[in-house]
Amino acid sequence: MTMNTEPEALLSHLPNSDGSATFSFAGYTVVGAVNGPIEAQRRDELPEEAVVDVIVRPAAGVGGTRERHLESLIQSTLRQIILVDNFPRTLIQIVLQVIATPENEYVNSKIVQPGSNLPILPALVQTAVLSLLSAALPLTTTLTSTSLAIIADGQSKKIVPSPSPREIQASESFHVLSFTSHDELILVESEGHFTMKEWDDVYTAARRQCCPSPSTNDGDTDMDDANVAGVNWKQFTRSTLEAKVASDLHWK
């Protein structure tokens, strides 16, 4: 499989769902579908807000503990941005089907063990948010998500954005961070060994990807992050939605 170096997204292509998106990046391809708000089963409904149900389906086989953990992380994150109070006693269901993963995703690593939840998490979050936007569900904000690894480079260390499985294998620590469109950190998961200073450097690099601001100088860092620009995720989300709106408004 050729690893896609630039993110790609397709919106509203599944006719039998209220919203849908296919997101591809770094060897991962995920298809998301959103339905809701719909009637919830009596035993599940909440009297004052909507139930948010996230289902993650692996590329092969049936879901297990790994998928349940991912579902829990994504569900708790999305509940913070969906206006659940607007839809009491209803259900908002988000299904995320993994279509493709990097060929050596399950490479043996001392940091990220085979079957780890973290490497695919940013792709799942991005797909879920794009699917919610496709469904036109009211949100308080949007989300962007990225992953970074700290790798020893001689006597120094470097931060690698969206690392490959091989880079994760060689890393000392691996991190996933998600930010709102208001530049607030909303999700962070880390594995490996790192100092607080290294985590601060990771946070700075991730924030520059998800919340870029040319006028903002986050200060110096011990690790050279001049080349840690990576993808401008906020601009990617904006341009994807602009292209969708332009397509919808185009007279055919």
Q: How far is CA 93 from the centre of its chain?
A: 17
Residue 139: DSSP 8-state? B
Per-residue pLDDT for 115 more than 70?
A: no
Per-residue pLDDT for 80 more than 90?
A: yes
Domains, in order of start, for the chain:
8-249 (3.30.230.70)
Cα–Cα dist 101/29, whole Å: 7
DSSP string over 212-237 = --TT------SS--TT-----HHHHH
pLDDT in tens, 176-196: 999 999 999 999 999 999 999
Per-residue pLDDT for 251 more than 50?
A: yes
The percentage of residues in the chain with a pLDDT greater than 70, rounded to a whole number, is 86
Cα–Cα dist 28/53, whole Å: 22
Among 72-76, 97-101, 104-108, 120-124, the range scoring the smallest mean pLDDT is 104-108
Residue 85: DSSP 8-state? G
Cα–Cα dist 34/16, whole Å: 10
